[in-house]
Amino acid sequence: MSQVHLKVFRGEPGEAPRYDEFDVPVEEGMVVLDALHWIQGNAAPDLAVRWNCKAAKCGSCSGEVNGRPRLMCKTRLSDFAPGEPITVEPMRAFPLVRDLVSDVSWNYEVNKSIQAFTPPANKPQSEWRWQQEDIERVQEYRKCIECFLCQDVCHVLRNHETDTPFMGPRFLVRTAGLEMHPIDAADRRGYLKDVGGIGYCNITKCCTEVCPEHIKITDNAIIPLKERVADEFYDPIQWAWRKLRGKPAAGAAGTPLPMLAGASMSAQPMSPPEPALPAPPARTAPEVKRPRRRSDAGDETASEG
């Protein structure tokens, strides 16, 4: 029987991290999660790994395999060259709980801040009508299994490089599904700009690349939302038109999101040291608040054509 060699991240916050190494017997069709289960059952019963369905539908077993964010239940051992060691680590954008488990609860806080589906108050459900193509469009966003791999890979979240919060790709996907729902009557553009920090995304498309559900996150969710925000807040003609009509720009943004806490650095030796951020400008002067890498939403949409 052939074997694979696994290097598995172990440790708790405040503890010296280490990589434990295991030789795991391989059977046809095995995935990384199977190898971790073998380790739990035969070598390290206290190895912490979060998992549930083993069918790439629950989004629990997210981690980093040889540095790449992946679902461990969907990563085949046969994808690695024979003899190549496989390094398994937790998602490094989030605080460490223990071993391969990270604390993703920040995401649930962000989720709560998004205004839920809001049908028009004066139209009973029996009168809702929408087209098949609208159903198919929003269906793509609903494929999300909340594995948070897109949040993990996103450099804005991973490097903790902003001084105001960024909701991250997963929640831009959810918002896109609501904003493009033909029955939904809410307007989340002010929220996206001021609370969600949509301008922080500079469309590197890493999120799309790691999505196990193959959602075209950047092209189909983030860019259309950026266009809507840019139209509302950065289009000079719209601005002049609103002035003439005396109508303000899209509504109240809501309360600020919590910042994502970093992973415990002592337990994350492979992360580069965090560069010192300049002191955040005062909250009363939003027009000078331009943290690194933040690009103007209007410029981006223009460059995308």
Partner 1 sequence: MWKYLPEDRRGEYAATDDEAKRWVDSASRGQTSDARRPPELSTRDNVSRAIYTEVREGRGTPHGGVFLDISYLPAEHVRRKLPSMYDQFKELADVDITKGPMEVGPTTHYVMGGVRVDAETGASTVPGLFAAGEVAGGMHGANRLGGNSLSDLLVFGARTGAGAAAHAAKHAAQSYVDPVQVADAARELAAPLERETGEDPYALQRDLQEVMQRLVGIYRVEADLNEAIDEIGKIRARLPRLAVRGGRVYNPGWNLAFEVRNLLIVSEGITRSALQRTESRGAHSRLDFPETDQKGWGGRNGVVRRREDGSMDVTTTKLPTMPDELGSLLGGGAH
Q: What is the DSSP letter of 96?
A: E
Using CB under 8 A, which of 41, 85, 280, 286 touches partner 1? 41
Buried b (16+ CB within 10 A) or exposed e, 10-33: bbebeeebebeebebebeeebbbb
Check if the beta carbon of residue 106 is closer than 8 Å to that of residue 112. Answer: no
52 binds partner 1 (CB under 8 A): no
Check if the beta carbon of residue 62 is closer than 8 Å to that of residue 149. Answer: yes
Instruction: Select 15 or 299, whichever has its Cβ closest to partner 1.
Output: 15
Phi first, then psi, for residue 289 (nearest 5°) are: -80, 90
Whole-number minimum distance, CB 212 to partner 1, in Å? 9
12 binds partner 1 (CB under 8 A): yes
76 binds partner 1 (CB under 8 A): yes
Instruction: Give a three-class secondary structure readout of 106-163.
Output: HHHHHHHCCCCCCCCCCCCHHHCCCCHHHHHHHHHHHCCCCCCHHHHHCHHHHCCCCC
58 binds partner 1 (CB under 8 A): no
Radius of gyration of the chain (CA): 22
74 binds partner 1 (CB under 8 A): yes
Whole-number minimum distance, CB 290 to partner 1, in Å? 40
45 binds partner 1 (CB under 8 A): yes
203 binds partner 1 (CB under 8 A): no
Whole-number minimum distance, CB 14 to partner 1, in Å? 11
As a whole number of angstroms, the distance between CA 40 and CA 19 comes to 15
Q: What is the DSSP letter of 20?
A: E
Instruction: Select 46 or 287, whichever has its Cβ closest to partner 1.
Output: 46
138 binds partner 1 (CB under 8 A): no
Instruction: Select 39 or 201, whichever has its Cβ closest to partner 1.
Output: 39
Using CB under 8 A, which of 42, 52, 202, 266 touches partner 1? 42
As a whole number of angstroms, the distance between CA 282 and CA 54 comes to 47
266 binds partner 1 (CB under 8 A): no
127 binds partner 1 (CB under 8 A): no
Using CB under 8 A, which of 14, 29, 82, 83 touches partner 1? 29
As a whole number of angstroms, the distance between CA 91 and CA 69 comes to 7
Stretch that binds partner 1, among 93-101, 111-119, 165-173, 276-284 (CB under 8 A): 93-101
133 binds partner 1 (CB under 8 A): no
Stretch that binds partner 1, among 97-105, 107-115, 179-187, 240-248 (CB under 8 A): 97-105
Closest CA relative to residue 249, chosen from 195, 296, 193, 298: 193
**Interface with partner 1 by CB under 8 A: which residues?**
12, 29, 31, 40-42, 45-49, 55-57, 74, 76, 97-99, 101
